[in-house]
Amino acid sequence: MPVTDIPSPDPSREREGNLTHLDETGAARMVDVSGKVETERRAVASGRIAMSREAAAAIGAGNVPKGDVLAAARIAGIMAAKRTGELIPLCHPLPITSAAIDLSVDADGVTATATITTTGRTGVEMEAMTAVSVALLTIYDMAKAIDKAMTIGAIRLLAKTGGKSGEWTAT
Q: How far, in Å, CA of 90 to CA of 123, rounded?
A: 13
List the catalytic residues: 141
**111 in the Ramachandran plot: left (φ > 0), alpha (ψ -120 to 50) or beta?**
beta
SS3 136: helix
Which residue type, as a one-letter code, is found at position 123? G
**Residue 85 CB partners (closer than 8 Å, separation 6+):** 91, 92, 93, 94
SS3 38: coil
The distance between the two most distant Cα atoms of the chain, rounded to a whole number of Å, is: 59
The DSSP letter of residue 16 is: S
φ and ψ of 150, to 5 deg: -60, 150
